[in-house]
Chains A and B, each alone.
Chain A
């Protein structure tokens, strides 16, 4: 996994945001150690696209999102937004350019100021930039409240504690969208919510994206959610990118062993699939202070060979629209078998799984037709 390389990037002129060789390090302790939160990753997002960034806690996905926002600025690399490198801008230029990028955070309640009224929270961006006059700003706040499904007359003067988590997340979305940004970085926007509310928020994000022509970077640890909202998915592990792919290919034919492990960890609402028989990732993510040499996933990978410890895999194309950083990708192979995973984790209760032939898809229950392609 450990993947550097740029094979997955599109033409520089096409992308709204292009991140190259991003490195984020934090000092750790007094002995000059450092946390390698993000190590040399490259990403790009086309206008109107939703890029999903997925991985376990500690894989650097949130750090990537924040580094793009320059919160704090990355240690190295380029963050090119609409042709300008955000790292090279001075403070005032950055302030102006950054209005085009907004963020939505994980915990909806603590990300809103508890002392302020909803109308002030949502209008803050407009107030700072002095957009229009007071009446115009009020009109836009009301319009935004209606868009997120709230009655302005009722909620305008309320404070965050009077709302549920899902409603606070709606308010966060309104606050982010009202300044008409081009890019929204959603950092685990639904992981603190119940499944039923999660569905409402995802639908709202999709509606907002269509209505305001947004480009979204969607960061989450749940691959089922990420697959649903994304046009392209990047899987991260320990500060590196393992796989970049379109979501449907990623689900049908994961190329990286880690992607496969993430997929099989998702609980399936079907009593006939025994969760204990599915292949499972053992152990925990290693410390980013001293990451493994070569491929960073090798310590938990059932396919790891000597080469993986010595040589870092570089991202390369394995299928149209699918890029992987692995010396022994699953595509083209007969697949990882139970014994492979068992040897890696010592769990005997496993069955043969063939990643090239995933379990037959269950019938789609909500007969929603596939949407027209975006872009």
Chain B
């Protein structure tokens, strides 16, 4: 893909990460006080790699991707550092960011129904960014749009270019969204819950498409989802978020093999397993995520944690690398460790709150 805004050669050494996020925090001001949606998040993404960000609604995963992109509303304050190919994005104003959006980094949103402009033909929505960011003429832009639609697997692409979003199914709309995001050949693609609004069969198609495009174009991709199953076979690394923090981060295989944080474990176990017989009771996580305005001291997951101890309620565990290189987690009593097992045994003996045993959990305290 042609790219008028390509950075000068040598601007970033090839081995440097494409995206470096360090101590990123995002706070919103609201009537009730400060909402700490993202708190001290640090990670890097290499070119050609996929990072999966997993968490429940309200864990800050969408705000995180918008904070990196600079798409936060006016009442948000971002602190820390976001470096894209060595360039500090937090210090970049909206006018300059406008040259980056679409051209360097793009986003596929969750709901293709509302993310597309309902009164603009598909073709124009795709060529819009091409005409803005590149020097190509209208004819060439239209040809590129056609090629893009074909590459994202839309049949009868020529006819579709002249159609409006309401004439397309949900899966087709999401393919159009992907075509728009890919139009200027971005180096970094955010996919924010790209399949949550879709059927399982279409979900599999769209995720395959994203993965194919990511490999083909050697992009970095950040795949945000609430379903560990979605990222399991597709992400190189996974970061699990809770209450605005990364609580566990590891290469995908390591995470599944040596899952340490009780929250990661709980998320995994709440997925219904096909191989389990019917009416197998699901391990739900009791309670709800904390209020981001009044965060409790200590570990934010402590009130719902099966391994919780006194210490967890007072001190917040730091996110530290343990054991396998690249495997970080923030827990004093991790799953799969002696301390964790003992802590859980103590809780079970004292019949304290353990997820799965709270049948009708989630009530309002």
Interface string of A215-227 (1 = CB under 8 A from B): 0000001111101
> Once bound together, how far apart are the Cα atoms of A229 and B233, in whole Å?
26
Question: Does A164 make an interface contact (CB < 8 A)?
Answer: yes
Query: Which stretch from B28-36, B266-274, B345-353 is at the chain A interface?
Result: B266-274
Q: Are B363 and A151 touching (Cβ within 8 A)?
A: yes
Question: Does B252 make an interface contact (CB < 8 A)?
Answer: yes
Which residue of the partner chain, among A154, A204, A230, A251, contacts B359 with CB atoms under 8 Å? A204
Q: Are A276 and B360 touching (Cβ within 8 A)?
A: no
> Once bound together, how far apart are the Cα atoms of A247 and B272, in whole Å?
13
Q: Are B267 and A195 touching (Cβ within 8 A)?
A: yes
Interface string of A344-368 (1 = CB under 8 A from B): 0000000000000000011011101
Task: Report chain A residues within 8 Å CB of B269.
Answer: 365-366
> Once bound together, how far apart are the Cα atoms of A165 and B363, in whole Å?
12
Which residue of the partner chain, among B227, B280, B364, contacts A151 with CB atoms under 8 Å? B364
> Once bound together, how far apart are the Cα atoms of A279 and B252, in whole Å?
23
Whole-angstrom distance between the Cβ of A248 and the nearest chain B Cβ: 6
> Once bound together, how far apart are the Cα atoms of A275 and B211, in whole Å?
10
> Once bound together, how far apart are the Cα atoms of A22 and B356, in whole Å?
40
Whole-angstrom distance between the Cβ of B236 and the nearest chain A Cβ: 10
Q: Are B281 and A270 touching (Cβ within 8 A)?
A: no
Whole-angstrom distance between the Cβ of B178 and the nearest chain A Cβ: 16
Question: Does B74 make an interface contact (CB < 8 A)?
Answer: no
> Once bound together, how far apart are the Cα atoms of A204 and B171, in whole Å?
31
Whole-angstrom distance between the Cβ of A167 and the nearest chain B Cβ: 6
Question: Does A76 make an interface contact (CB < 8 A)?
Answer: no
Q: A167-B362, A365-B269 are in contact. Are A267 and B280 (CB under 8 A)?
A: no
Whole-angstrom distance between the Cβ of B273 and the nearest chain A Cβ: 6
Question: Does B23 make an interface contact (CB < 8 A)?
Answer: no
Question: Does B202 make an interface contact (CB < 8 A)?
Answer: yes
Query: Which has the most chain A C-beta neighbours within 10 Å: B201, B234, B284?
Result: B201
Question: Does B288 make an interface contact (CB < 8 A)?
Answer: yes
Which residue of the partner chain, among A57, A196, A206, A262, contacts B279 with CB atoms under 8 Å? A206
> Once bound together, how far apart are the Cα atoms of A221 and B84, in whole Å?
39
Task: Report chain A residues within 8 Å CB of B172.
Answer: 284
Question: Does A33 make an interface contact (CB < 8 A)?
Answer: no
> Once bound together, how far apart are the Cα atoms of A196 and B301, in whole Å?
14
> Once bound together, how far apart are the Cα atoms of A229 and B279, in whole Å?
5
Residues of B206-221 at the interface with A, using a CB-CB cut-off of 8 Å, are 207-208, 211
Q: Are A230 and B278 touching (Cβ within 8 A)?
A: yes
Which residue of the partner chain, among B205, B255, B364, contacts A150 with CB atoms under 8 Å? B364
Question: Does B56 make an interface contact (CB < 8 A)?
Answer: yes
Whole-angstrom distance between the Cβ of A19 and the nearest chain B Cβ: 22
Q: Are B278 and A229 touching (Cβ within 8 A)?
A: yes
Question: Does A25 make an interface contact (CB < 8 A)?
Answer: no
Task: Report chain B residues within 8 Å CB of A275.
Answer: 204, 207-208, 232-234
> Once bound together, how far apart are the Cα atoms of A165 and B226, in whole Å?
15
Q: Are A165 and B284 touching (Cβ within 8 A)?
A: no
Whole-angstrom distance between the Cβ of B283 and the nearest chain A Cβ: 5
Q: Are B268 and A269 touching (Cβ within 8 A)?
A: yes
Q: Are B285 and A269 touching (Cβ within 8 A)?
A: no
Question: Does B5 make an interface contact (CB < 8 A)?
Answer: no
* Chain B residues touching A, majority SS: loop
Chain A residue at smallest Cβ distance from B228? A269
Residues of A200-250 at the interface with B, using a CB-CB cut-off of 8 Å, are 200, 202-204, 206-207, 221-225, 227-231, 246-248
Chain A residue at smallest Cβ distance from B57? A194
Whole-angstrom distance between the Cβ of A106 and the nearest chain B Cβ: 12
Chain A residue at smallest Cβ distance from B59? A194
Question: Does A371 make an interface contact (CB < 8 A)?
Answer: yes
Question: Does A263 make an interface contact (CB < 8 A)?
Answer: yes
Q: A284-B202, A364-B280 are in contact. Are A271 and B232 (CB under 8 A)?
A: yes
> Once bound together, how far apart are the Cα atoms of A318 and B132, in whole Å?
60
Question: Does B325 make an interface contact (CB < 8 A)?
Answer: no
Q: Are B362 and A170 touching (Cβ within 8 A)?
A: yes
Interface string of A142-168 (1 = CB under 8 A from B): 000001111100110000000011110
Which residue of the partner chain, among A148, A165, A270, contacts B256 with CB atoms under 8 Å? A270
Chain A residue at smallest Cβ distance from B195? A267
Q: Are A281 and B284 touching (Cβ within 8 A)?
A: no
Task: Report chain A residues within 8 Å CB of B117.
Answer: none
Q: Are B359 and A57 touching (Cβ within 8 A)?
A: no
> Once bound together, how far apart are the Cα atoms of A261 and B252, in whole Å?
26
> Once bound together, how far apart are the Cα atoms of A272 and B277, in whole Å?
22
Task: Report chain B residues within 8 Å CB of A170.
Answer: 362
Q: Are A56 and B253 touching (Cβ within 8 A)?
A: no
Q: Are A282 and B278 touching (Cβ within 8 A)?
A: no
Which residue of the partner chain, among B205, B233, B270, B363, contacts A271 with CB atoms under 8 Å? B233
Chain B residue at smallest Cβ distance from A202? B282
Chain B residue at smallest Cβ distance from A300? B201
Question: Does B276 make an interface contact (CB < 8 A)?
Answer: yes
Whole-angstrom distance between the Cβ of A85 and the nearest chain B Cβ: 31
Task: Report chain A residues within 8 Å CB of B288.
Answer: 164, 166
Q: Are A200 and B284 touching (Cβ within 8 A)?
A: yes
Task: Report chain A residues within 8 Å CB of B155.
Answer: 283
Task: Report chain A residues within 8 Å CB of B128.
Answer: none
Question: Does A28 make an interface contact (CB < 8 A)?
Answer: no
Q: Are B277 and A248 touching (Cβ within 8 A)?
A: yes
Residues of B140-179 at the interface with A, using a CB-CB cut-off of 8 Å, are 155, 169-172
Task: Report chain A residues within 8 Å CB of B277.
Answer: 248, 370
Task: Report chain A residues within 8 Å CB of B282.
Answer: 199, 202-203, 228, 366
Question: Does A319 make an interface contact (CB < 8 A)?
Answer: no
Whole-angstrom distance between the Cβ of A56 and the nearest chain B Cβ: 5
Enumerate the 3 nearest inter-chain pairs by beta-carbon distance, A residue then B residue, closest first.
A149-B360, A267-B229, A361-B275
| A interface residues with partner B (beta carbon < 8 Å) | 56-57, 147-151, 154-155, 164-167, 170, 194-200, 202-204, 206-207, 221-225, 227-231, 246-248, 251, 261-276, 278, 280-284, 361-362, 364-366, 368, 370-371, 374
Q: What are 8 A-B pairs with beta-carbon distances under 8 A?
A: A57-B199, A166-B288, A170-B362, A197-B284, A223-B200, A275-B232, A278-B204, A361-B275
- What 15 new A-B contacts, CB under 8 Å, besides A199-B272, A271-B252? A148-B363, A155-B364, A195-B271, A199-B282, A199-B284, A200-B285, A206-B279, A223-B200, A224-B273, A224-B274, A228-B276, A228-B279, A261-B201, A269-B271, A282-B205
